[in-house]
Amino acid sequence: MSGVHPVADWSTDFDVLDPGYVADPFTIWDDLRSTCPVAHTGRRGSTWLPTRYDDVVDLAHDIDHFSSTQISVIPVAGGSPPEGERILRYGVPPISADPPLHTWTRRLLLPWFSHRRVEGYQAMTAELCGRLLDGFSGRGRADAAGDYAQQIPVRVIAAILGVPGSLADTFTGWVRDVLEFADDPERRRRGSQALVEYFVDEVARRRSEPGDDLLSDLLGSEVDGVPIEDSVVLGIAALVLIAGVGTTWSVIGSSLWHLATHAEDRRRLVAEPDLMPFAVEELLRAYSPVTMARVVTEDVEFRGCPMKAGDKVLVNFPGANRDPAAFEEADSVVLDRAVNRHVAFGSGIHRCAGSNLARMELRVALEEWLARIPDFSLENGAQVTWAGGQVRGPRQLPVVFE
């Protein structure tokens, strides 16, 4: 990220990979909202950045002008897509699709993340968190991001997909290659290729030995009497892994960062566990990890901005959730916030298909941590590092406790 050219004017030349933006985008959004609510940049192609809640929601709902066929916040450098992405002829639906492909692929996926199913994953998640805490709670210090947050969603998702949890570190590595090193085309190419090749083998194996898992279910599914193509199955599998791993771990990490640096909130949450459901929504609002992109389908004027066909728009859900026009005390975490129409999981037809799972994982991860380690803080002189771009969250979070 050291290669980012310094930004002098955020309204006309923004850069989401700027280290200052990655560390603290909040003050930049606040400035833009009052001076230039839809910012623009020519870096990595013509791209727009809305910062107001109403604008972001309107963009997400206008699927005719803003297509999901290009969702990468950072386009692949160098033109041709990675080999792995070429095997995925249909992208990673439903997130990278417009109707009608979006509609039927989403219907295949949703039941796996329904309330009822997610309740069934809860005991496994709590047990997993307990095991991780067993590993470091006696040591007085831990990397709350690397030793804890990063370890949780990947194992739950592996169980749902029916792939071994023992490969968690490998999966995490691929997901990071794809999501966090988008400006390093070689690394991104390697990650996406390895991930797709892994699932090609897994699909072949399940054709002969189906199991009770999402991959097998997809392979056995028919749409209008026709089995779905392998490239669609591979795309959905890649999506579930990438979106199910990199996002939830980020918000678990950000929430632990908040609690490590805001002792009053931490003590209150320990003393008033009934606040947890509201606190989970509030932490999701304040530290929404995910920004998605859209591509403009035809020239359109949006809030006075002349958007051209082919331009990118960043659907800035994290920024929308900090808009003071939509939330009182938008830049404060209010644990018992009663009215909270946050859009951390998006808005409109692409509402995160895994939102029930993500909420459960965040709640259980915080409950289990606080039950075992109610009092913790950042290590003195700690180097907290953040990833940004498509997904924002801490990647190194050294904390100390009794």
Partner 1 sequence: MRIRVDPDRCQGHARCYALAPELFDVDDYGQSSVIGDGVVPPELEAKATLAIANCPEYAIEERSEE
Pairing of strands 47-50, 312-315: parallel
Q: Shortest CA distance to 237 belongs to which of 211, 215, 213, 206?
A: 215
Q: Is 338 in the site for partner 1 (CB under 8 A)?
A: yes
Q: Which of 345, 376, 386, 401 binds partner 1 (CB under 8 A)?
A: 345
Cα(21)–Cα(7) distance, rounded to whole angstroms? Answer: 10
Q: At what angle do helices 230-261 and 168-180 cross, to 10 degrees?
A: 90
Q: Are 330 and 322 in contact (CB under 8 A)?
A: yes
The nearest distance, CB 1 to partner 1, in angstroms, is 32
* 86 part of the interface to partner 1, by CB under 8 A: no
DSSP calls for 34-72? HH-SEEEE-TTSSEEEE-SHHHHHHHHH-TTTEETT---
Task: Between 33 and 342, name the residue whose CB sits nearer to partner 1.
Answer: 342
The span from the CA of 326 to the CA of 282, in Å, is 14
Nearest to 401 by CA among 136, 147, 154: 136
CB of 121 to partner 1, least distance (A): 15
- C-beta of 281: minimal distance to partner 1 in Å? 8
339 lines the binding site for partner 1 (CB under 8 A): yes
Which secondary-structure segment (H or E) carries 149?
A: none
Q: Considering the complex, state which of residue 115 and residue 131 has its C-beta at the smaller distance from partner 1.
A: 115
Q: Is 110 in the site for partner 1 (CB under 8 A)?
A: yes
Which part of the chain contacts partner 1 (CB under 8 A), choosing from 1-9, 259-267, 347-355, 384-392?
Answer: 347-355
- Name the minimum Å distance from CB 170 to partner 1: 31
Among 45, 99, 273, 277, binds partner 1 (CB under 8 A): 277
Segment near partner 1 (CB under 8 A); pick from 83-91, 105-113, 221-229, 242-250: 105-113
Check the CA dihedral 13-14-15-19 and report its sign. positive
When asked if residue 348 is in the footprint of partner 1 (CB under 8 A), the reply is yes
Q: How many CB atoms lie within 10 A of CB 192?
A: 26
Compute CA distances 58 → 61, 311, 381, 389, whole Å. Answer: 5, 17, 43, 22
Indicate which single residue of 86, 89, 115, 308 sits in contact with partner 1 (rule: CB under 8 A). 115
Is residue 267 within the footprint of partner 1 (CB under 8 A)? no
DSSP summary character for residue 81: P
Which of residues 343 and 373 has its CB atom nearest to partner 1 in the complex? 343
> Which range of residues in 62-70, 234-242, 351-359, 391-399 is near partner 1 by CB under 8 A?
351-359
Please report how close the Cβ of residue 341 comes to partner 1 at its closest, in angstroms.
5
Stretch that binds partner 1, among 69-77, 252-260, 306-314, 348-356 (CB under 8 A): 348-356
- SS3 of residue 315 by DSSP: strand
Nearer to partner 1, 93 or 191 (CB): 93
Sign of the Cα torsion 26, 253, 276, 348 reads: positive
Tokens coding 287: 């530290």
| DSSP reduced 3-state for 238 | helix
Quick check: 46 binds partner 1 (CB under 8 A)? no
- Check residue 325 for interaction with partner 1 (CB under 8 A): no
Determine if 5 is a binding residue for partner 1 (CB under 8 A).
no
* Residue 249 is a binding residue for partner 1 (CB under 8 A): no
Told to check if 347 binds partner 1 by CB under 8 A, we report yes
Q: Is 8 in the site for partner 1 (CB under 8 A)?
A: no
R_g (Cα) of the chain, nearest Å: 21
What is the residue type of 184?
A: D
CB 47 within 8 A of CB 313: yes
Q: Are 342 and 321 in contact (CB under 8 A)?
A: yes
- Give least dist CB 228 to partner 1, A: 17
Interface segment toward partner 1; rule CB under 8 A; list 9-17, 89-97, 110-118, 221-229: 110-118
Residues that bind partner 1 (CB under 8 A): 107, 110-111, 114-116, 277, 281, 338-343, 345, 347-349, 351, 355-356, 359
